[in-house]
Each structure stands twice: as structure tokens, then as C-alpha cells.
Chain A
Amino acid sequence: MRVEVRVYPKEGVLDPQGRAIASALERLGHRSVADVRAGKIFFLDVRGDDPVAVEADARRMAEELLANTVIEGYDIRFPTES
């Protein structure tokens, strides 16, 4: 099944990329943007179809490798079938 791990700078951690994107958007005239934080999404196709077990696995992967939990938070999502 497909599981997504989203990794992003923690609240309160300076995100130079997000800040640069925010100022670029502002320069383009998008004056409604108050703040941007830039992260990554990992699309994982995993064996198994028990969402509880898959989520626990994905959490371990995030903690061990996908996120640097000193500066990054993460969340785990199951995309809705279309």
C-alpha cells in the first residue's frame, strides 16, 4: 500500500528556504502569503495492508532516517483512494 511521510522544518526553527520562497512569492505580487515553510514528501509503496503496522513502520523510518528530528518534524498520511 501507499503511505506518505511528510518532513518539514519544526515550528520555530528558522527555515531559510521557506523564507526565500515567501519573499519570492511576495515579489511576484502574492501579497496574501504570510509565511512559508518548505519540506519534503516521501511516497512509500510498502508491502502489507495493515494500516496500523504500516504506520508504525513509517514512523520508525522517519525517526531513524527520513527526518532529522533535531530540526524537522514529520507526519504520516495515507492518500485517499481516488
Chain B
Amino acid sequence: MTSSSTKFAIVVFPGSNCEGDCHYVATELLGCRAEYVWHHDTDLKGCDVVILPGGFAYGDYLRAGALARFSPVMESVIRFAMDGGPVLGICNGFQVLLEAGLLPGAVRVNRGLRYICRDVYMRVENASTAFTRLYEPGEVVKMPIGHGEGNYTAPPEALTRLEHESGVVFRYCDAEGNVTDAANPNGATAGIAGIANREGNIVGLMPHPDRCAEGILGNAVGRRMFESAVASLAPA
């Protein structure tokens, strides 16, 4: 599959606000095709990659992601993911994946109780998922975060499984790649910023690769997450 034939589905919930950024990366920067898929739709329009973008789906009422999970579109997304299709949840999209049970764990309010909007560093812990295969293992990447609830946790047995099965994809670190408490912006357990399922086709993270995908923004490191998805679809 060439990049121009890869088609991204970008799911739009009421309250999503990063769908345009994702659409722009897919079409303008990668030269792929992309379709917005409204939360009431159940047809993913033959897309090859599904992105759940950031925002405040359903106003984050009850809990972030809690109501979005019951959207009609999520049944199709769950089926697509279970069939091995690449699915990326960014920020609020990650919270939706957690609430839907596609990834383990939950997020709590940031330990400082504040919404945080700034760049963070992360270490790439798993460079073989559908969305990270164009990174180097152990590479340190800088991406922006913008969230009030990103304090990831999971039950002890789920954390053990994540660590043993390379489920941790990104960990907060300092600029040199050291995972320290000071470099952890929100208190997430074990500095976890992003995780994947065992097969590596479902990935979720709190930082925003869609907001650092072009040189003119001073940082294009996030673009490789989208390019990784295209590469993962290429015949071996």
C-alpha cells in the first residue's frame, strides 16, 4: 500500500477539537486520504487507519471518554481494532480507548490538579507498534501535552502485564531520557505516557503527535506516528 492510497478515518465526537489537525497531517503532510466519521455513523468508509482525536468528547461529562465510548461509531471502531486494524487514540481519544476497554487502565486528575499545556519529553519504549515503528527504541522525543486528566494508572496485574508484554510505548523522561519523577508532568504510574495492546495495533497516548508534525511548528517528530501507520500497512 502506498501512502497516497492509505485512507485515515478521523472520528468526530461532539466536543472533539483536534480532528482538523489530524486530517491535515494525514492529507496535507502525508499525501494520504482522510475522512471524518461522525459519532453517529457506523461506517468507517473503508478506511485503513482509525484516529480518535483530542478534545472534550461529550464535554467530558461523567468522566473523560466515558460517554463517547457508547457512541454508535465505537462499535465499528472496536470491531476494526479487534480485526487488527491500526487505531490511535490521542489525548481524549486515548481516554476513550481506556473507557472502551480496548486498552487497560484509567486516567485520574493530574496530581497537581491543574490542566497542563506544555512540551514534555518521552522515551520510546516500544518501537514496533503500528504507530511507532519509524522511531528508534529508546529514542527521546518531545511532544506537547494539553490535559487535566492524564494521570494514568492500572491495577497491579495489568501494570505487570503491560511491562512484560512491551505494552508501555512511551514514558515521560527528561531531555536526556532519564525517567524521573520530576519529568513526570501528571503523576502517571511508572511515568506511562502511552500504551499499546499486545498486538501493537491499538495505541493510545496523552501527548499530541498531531501538534508537532511539521517543521514550521519547530517540531516534526509526531509526524512519524502517522507515517508509521502507513508503513505498517505496506506489504512486507
Q: How many residues of chain A get a CB closer than 8 Å to chain B's CBs?
A: 12
In the complex, A68→B154 CA distance in Å?
A: 11
Contact status of A14 and B108, CB under 8 A, knowing A70-B155, A71-B153: yes
**Is A20 part of the contact surface with B, judged by Cβ < 8 Å?**
yes
Contact status of A70 and B66, CB under 8 A, knowing A14-B108, A16-B109, A16-B111: no
Interface residues of chain B: helix, strand, loop or mixed (majority): loop
Beta-carbon contacts under 8 Å, B92-111 to A = 99, 104-106, 108-111
**Is B207 part of the contact surface with A, judged by Cβ < 8 Å?**
no
Task: Say yes or no: A16 contacts B63, CB within 8 Å.
Answer: no
Task: Say yes or no: B106 contacts A68, CB within 8 Å.
Answer: yes
In the complex, A20→B112 CA distance in Å?
A: 9
Task: Say yes or no: A68 contacts B63, CB within 8 Å.
Answer: yes
Beta-carbon contacts under 8 Å, A28-74 to B = 65-66, 68, 70-71
Contact status of A65 and B153, CB under 8 A, knowing A13-B108, A17-B109, A70-B106: no
Q: List 25 A-B contacts (CB under 8 A).
A: A13-B108, A13-B153, A14-B108, A14-B111, A14-B153, A15-B108, A16-B108, A16-B110, A16-B111, A16-B113, A16-B187, A17-B109, A17-B113, A20-B113, A65-B62, A65-B66, A65-B70, A68-B66, A68-B106, A70-B104, A70-B105, A70-B106, A70-B153, A70-B155, A71-B153
B residues contacting A by CB (< 8 A) are 62-63, 66, 70, 99, 104-106, 108-113, 151, 153-155, 187
